């Protein structure tokens, strides 16, 4: 029995580690960061028009909104976002 007689179970797997259709991790992080920033900016614009907003805090919850708008899980106490 020699090495040519042993069947390779991975013989049909292509060795192509780079998939050109999938963005790199750096690109995915940049896209996520841009999306996160757009979301926090959108929330802050809503706060700026709200009668409960007393720069820099919300009168309803007392939070500093420049920070709270950046937390994805945070919610507006008035239900605006």
Give the chain's domain count.
1
Give the residue numbers spanning the domain of 47: 26-76
Is 4 among the domain residues? no
Is 67 among the domain residues? yes
**Residue-by-residue DSSP string for 14-76:** ------TTS--HHHHHHHHHHHHHHHHHHHHHHHHT-TTEETTEETTT--BHHHHTT-TT---
Is 45 among the domain residues? yes
Is 19 among the domain residues? no
Q: For the whole model, what pTM was predicted?
A: 0.67
- Kindly report, residue by residue over 7-65, the tens digit of the pLDDT: 766 666 555 555 567 778 899 899 999 999 999 999 999 999 999 999 999 999 999 99
Is 16 among the domain residues? no
Is 9 among the domain residues? no
């Amino acid at each position: 029995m020699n090495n040519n007689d042993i069947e390779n179970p991975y013989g049909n797997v292509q060795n192509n580690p780079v998939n050109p259709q999938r963005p790199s991790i750096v690109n995915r992080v940049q896209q996520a960061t841009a999306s996160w920033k757009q979301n926090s900016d959108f929330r802050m614009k809503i706060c700026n028009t709200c009668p409960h907003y007393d720069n820099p805090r919300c009168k309803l919850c007392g939070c500093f909104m420049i920070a709270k708008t950046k937390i994805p899980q945070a919610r507006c106490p008035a239900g605006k976002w």
